[in-house]
Amino acid sequence: MSATLRAPEPADTSQPSPAGAKGGSLAEKVLRLREFSIGAALVLLILATWLVNPSFLDDQGIKDLLLNASILVLLATGQSVVVLTRNIDLSVGSVVGLTAFACGSFVSGTDHSAVTVLLLGIALGTVCGLVSGALVSFGRVPALVVTLGMLYVIQGLDHAWAHGEQINAANVPDAVLTLGSGSVLGIPYLPILSAVVLAATAYFLRAYGSGRELYAIGSNPEAARLAGIPIRRRVLTAYAFSGAVAGLAGALWLARFGTVVADAANGWELTVVSAVVVGGIAITGGVGTVWGAALGALLLTTIGSALVVLKVSSFWEQAITGALLLAAISTDRVVRGRTTRALRKRSRQ
Partner 1 sequence: MSKTAPAGADPAPVLALKGVSKSFGSVRALRDISLELRAGESHALAGENGAGKSTLIKTLAGVHRPEAGTVLLDGEPAVFHGPADARDAGIAVIYQEPTLFADLSIAENIFMGRQPRRTLGRIDHAAVHAATGALMERLGVDLDPGRTARGLSIADQQIVEIAKALSFDARVLIMDEPTAALTGSETARLFSVVETLRTEGAAVLFISHRLGEIFDLCRHVTTLRDGQLVASEPLEGLTEDELVRRMVGRDLGELYPKQEARPGGTALTVRRLTREGVFRDVSFDVREGEIVALAGLVGAGRSEVAQAVFGVDRADAGEVRVNGQALRAGSPTAAMRAGLALVPEDRRQLGLVMDASIERNIGLTGLRQLRTRGLVRRAGERARASDWALRLSLKYGRLSDPVGFLSGGNQQKVVLAKWLATEPSVLIVDEPTRGIDVGTKAEVHRLLSSLAADGLAVLMISSDLPEVLGMADRVLVMHEGRLVAEIPRAQADEESVMAAATGRAGSRGEAA
Partner 2 sequence: MTTAPPTPAPAREETRHGPGRIGRFLRWDAAVGALLVAAFLTGTGTTEGFSDTANLSAALNDTAEVALLALPMTLLVVAGQVDLSVASMLGLSSALAGSLWDAGWSFELIVPLCLVVGLLGGLLNGWLVTRVGLPSLAVTIGTLTLYRGLASVVLGNKAVADFPETYAQWAGNSETVPGTFVPYPIALFCVLAVVAAVVLHSTGFGRALFAVGAQEDAAWFAGIRVKRIKLILFAVSGFMASFAGIVYTLRYGSARADNGLGLELTVVAAVLLGGVDFDGGKGTLGGAVAGVLLIGVLNNLLTLNDISHEIQVIVTGVLLIVSVLTPRVIAVLTARRQRQPAAP
- Report if residue 163 touches partner 2, rule: CB under 8 A: yes
Provide the minimum distance between the beta carbon of 334 and partner 2 in the complex, in angstroms, as a whole number: 7
Spatial separation of the C-alpha atoms in residues 306 and 68, rounded to whole Å: 12
- Report if residue 233 touches partner 1, rule: CB under 8 A: no
Provide the minimum distance between the beta carbon of 143 and partner 1 in the complex, in angstroms, as a whole number: 19
The mark string for 6-45 relative to partner 1 (x by CB under 8 A, - otherwise) is xxxxxxxx-xxxxxxxxxxx-xx-----------------
Q: Which backbone phi and psi does 34 adopt, to 5 degrees? A: -65, -50
When the beta carbons of 20 and 164 are compared against partner 2, the nearer one is 164
Provide the minimum distance between the beta carbon of 268 and partner 2 in the complex, in angstroms, as a whole number: 12
Which residue from 54, 109, 156, 182 is in contact with partner 2, where contact means CB under 8 A? 156
List, as one string, the DSSP characters of 5-20. ---PPPSS------TT
Interacting stretch for partner 1, rule CB under 8 A, among 108-116, 117-125, 174-182, 202-210? 202-210
- Report if residue 207 touches partner 1, rule: CB under 8 A: yes
Sign of CA dihedral 232, 270, 274, 69: negative
CA distances from 119 to 132, 218, 245, 307 (A): 20, 30, 11, 36
Which residue from 187, 227, 270, 342 is in contact with partner 2, where contact means CB under 8 A? 270
When the beta carbons of 86 and 159 are compared against partner 1, the nearer one is 86
Which residue from 48, 208, 322, 327 is in contact with partner 1, where contact means CB under 8 A? 208
Contact in structure between 281 and 292 (CB atoms under 8 Å): yes
- Report if residue 173 touches partner 1, rule: CB under 8 A: no
307 binds, among partner 2, partner 1, none (CB under 5 to 8 A by kind): none
Spatial separation of the C-alpha atoms in residues 188 and 179, rounded to whole Å: 8
Contact in structure between 195 and 187 (CB atoms under 8 Å): no
Provide the minimum distance between the beta carbon of 297 and partner 1 in the complex, in angstroms, as a whole number: 22
Spatial separation of the C-alpha atoms in residues 129 and 143, rounded to whole Å: 12
- Report if residue 223 touches partner 2, rule: CB under 8 A: no
Closest CA to 82 of 215, 209, 198: 215
Closest CA to 244 of 96, 114, 86, 83: 96
Closest CA to 256 of 152, 155, 180, 178: 180
Spatial separation of the C-alpha atoms in residues 326 and 328, rounded to whole Å: 5
Interacting stretch for partner 1, rule CB under 8 A, among 34-42, 99-107, 218-226, 321-329? 218-226
Angle at alpha carbon of residue 290, lines to 284 and 314, rounded to 5°: 90
- Within 74-113, which residues bind partner 2 (CB under 8 A)? 88
Which residue from 277, 287, 295, 297 is in contact with partner 2, where contact means CB under 8 A? 277
Contact in structure between 67 and 188 (CB atoms under 8 Å): yes
- Within 109-128, which residues bind partner 1 (CB under 8 A)? none
The mark string for 307-336 relative to partner 2 (x by CB under 8 A, - otherwise) is ------x-xxxxxxxxx-xx--xx--xx--
Contact in structure between 132 and 150 (CB atoms under 8 Å): yes
Contact in structure between 281 and 274 (CB atoms under 8 Å): no
SS3 313: coil
Binding site residues, partner 1, CB under 8 A: 1-13, 15-25, 27-28, 206-209, 212-213, 215-216, 218-220, 222-230, 286-287, 340-341, 343-349
Binding site residues, partner 2, CB under 8 A: 88, 135, 139-142, 144-146, 148-160, 163, 267, 270-271, 273-274, 277, 283-284, 313, 315-323, 325-326, 329-330, 333-334, 337
